[in-house]
Amino acid sequence: MKVDWLIVGAGFSGCVLAERIASQLGQRVLLMDKRDHIGGNAYDYYNEHGILVHKYGPHIFHTKSKKVWDYLSQFTEWRPYFHHVLGVVEGKKVPIPFNLNSLYALFPPKYAEKLEEKLLDNFGFGVKVPILKLRESANGELEFLANYIYDNVFVRYTAKQWELKPEELDKAVTGRVPVYISRDDRYFQDPYQAMPKYGYTEMFRKMLAHPNIKVLLNADYREVINDIKFNRMVYTGPVDTFFDYMYGELPYRSLRFSFETLDQEHYQEVGTVNYPNEYDITRITEQKYLSGQTSPKTTLVKEYPQAYVPGLNDPYYPVPREENRARYELYLKEANKLNGSVIFAGRLAEYKYYDMDQAALRALGLFEKEVQEKTPDTII
Ligand code: FAD
Ligand code: UDP
């Protein structure tokens, strides 16, 4: 088989690049994945009860990028959806990110008022304060509050998810869920928030429905690479695997997902309930909130964090911290030696905690800089 591009991995990164290369440059692409489906970790499917579930954990689309929104809107209609998360703290379910409503749900009104006043004086209404920053800067009553939130929302959740303390990770990790001095209970505040109306997999199908794109599933690229002639390659798998672990393993975190379908219309009040303190799980998501379906049954997914063991489970999260970044830099140097013959893209290949929209934005950027600009003659 002869193609212009071999793209390894049919997730957001691989699908965006395949679509752009095929439709904008008219070049031929073989997109492959070792799994038996397209979509990478954003893959969804209808289970035996007709409920749309996310095989690799709940995926909620949100972005600040008009570019990404406009691009994906070519391949899907959207269902407006604002994700809400409650966290169980001292037996009560309170809004996460922790906000002024959480404060009033947990403390007597007079004390909550006092804490609110301090937050407003120190930071201002509408401000998002990462928990580690709140702990650094707080004194007096705010120091109490910072420690309370750290202890009851972050420390044990983070221990389950990463087997680390919040301060042992890049600040940006817990900064994804900052204390929000607001009454806005939504998990995200991005201007674009919605779910693909017919699911992610359907959106990917449309992206890949181009005669220049062939898809090969159930195959590790190493099994077939000698049988395919190609000019350039995109690789979206783990970067350390690509280089045969020459600088040792990069740590990734994994998860085990446990699905349960109940004979009841709803199980919980919102899309996701976090369990920062109790149980081995971090959170339970009720899929119907994400899909907007109505049904007398409901499907839940529970997430059990695990260490990633190559060959045994899947790498889901890079572990953002200094020592891992240093090791990643060694791999990046090796990648740069290949002079663009292989483009490394995405959460695993770039060892970056990308959300879906960031993976898509990065893939669009790589297409413009590393693909389009380097093949100007072939633009159709
Ligand atoms: P992936 O989706 O991981 O795709 C890489 C693909 O490469 C995989 O399909 C893999 O099978 C394939 N591959 C690897 N090695 C090989 C090989 N040797 N041969 C062939 N194929 C190979 N983002 C959000 O925006 N919102 C969310 O709510 C959200 N929730 C998430 C929840 C969980 C539990 C997880 C794990 C992630 C979540 N994300 C979320 C992030 C989102 O999944 C990623 O941003 C996105 O999937 C990245 O796409 P990718 O193409 O870079 O990687
Ligand atoms: N986090 C936490 N408690 C929570 C929610 C989040 O400690 O109730 C921390 C935890 O370290 C988590 C990180 O914040 O890994 C990022 O949370 P997010 O919900 O963004 O994680 P993701 O959806 O990517 O798994």
Distance CA 39, CA 310 (A): 21
DSSP structural state of residue 251? P
Residue 297 vs residues 47, 258, 293: alpha-carbon distances, Å? 12, 17, 10
Report the distance separating Cα 6 and Cα 134, nearest Å: 47
CB-based contact 80:193 (threshold 8 Å): yes
* 161 CB within 6 A, ligand 2: yes
| Residue of the CA atom closest to atom 43 of ligand 1 | 41
Query: How confident is the model at residue 137, as a pLDDT?
Result: 84
Sign (positive/negative) of CA torsion 337, 343, 349, 352?
positive
User: What's the pLDDT at 139?
Assistant: 83
DSSP state of 279: S
CATH of domain 5-79+195-251+317-378: 3.40.50.720
- Residue pair 292/304 in contact (Cβ under 8 Å)? The answer is no
Q: Based on C-alpha coordinates, what's the Rg of the chain?
A: 22
Single-letter amino acid code for the residue at 324: N
> In angstroms, what CA-CA distances link 197 with 88, 194, 293?
30, 8, 11
Q: Which ligand is nearest to the Cα of residue 240, counting in written order?
A: 1
DSSP 8-state secondary structure symbol assigned to residue 297 = S
Closest residue by Cα to residue 302 from 327, 332, 272? 272
pLDDT (0 to 100) of residue 1 = 84
Q: Report the residue among 176, 353, 355 best suited for mutation to probe ligand 2: largest number of ligand atoms under 8 A from its CB.
A: 176
What is residue 376's predicted lDDT score, i.e. its pLDDT? 62
The pLDDT value recorded for residue 129 is 98
Q: Is 170 in contact with 89 (CB distance < 8 Å)?
A: no
Q: How far apart are CA 113 and CA 119, in angstroms?
A: 10
Nearest to 366, CA basis, from 5, 21, 8, 11: 21
The tokens describing 117, both together, are 């006043």
β partners of residue 344: 235
Q: Which two tokens stand for residue 202?
A: 């359907």
Burial class (CB in 10 A: 0-12, 13-18, 19+), 232: buried
Nearest CA to ligand 1 atom 38: 59
pLDDT along the chain (380 residues), means of 10: 96 98 98 98 98 98 99 98 98 98 98 97 98 92 97 98 98 98 98 98 98 98 96 98 97 98 98 98 98 98 97 97 98 97 98 98 98 71
Indicate whether residue 154 lines ligand 2 (CB < 6 A): yes
Q: What is the C-alpha to C-alpha distance for residues 95 and 99, in angstroms, rounded to an integer? A: 7
CA dihedral defined by 363, 369, 372, 373, rounded to 10 degrees? 180
Q: Report ipTM (2 d.p.).
A: 0.99
Any ligand 2 atom below 6 A from CB of 174: yes
Cα distances from 162 to residues 131, 158, 168, 284, in angstroms, run: 17, 6, 10, 17
Helix (H, G, I), strand (E, B) or coil at 34: coil
Ligand 1 pocket check for 83: Cβ under 6 Å? no
Residue ranges of E strands in 50-91? 52-54, 62-63, 78-80, 85-89
Ligand 1 midpoint to CA 316 (Å): 7
Instruction: State the pLDDT at residue 136.
Output: 94
- Tell which residue, 281, 270, 274, 303, has the closest CA to residue 98: 274
Residues 104, 292: Cα–Cα separation, whole Å: 30
Ligand 2: does its nearest atom lie under 6 Å from the Cβ of 153?
A: yes
What pLDDT score was predicted for residue 195?
98
Boundaries of every domain in the chain: 5-79+195-251+317-378, 85-180
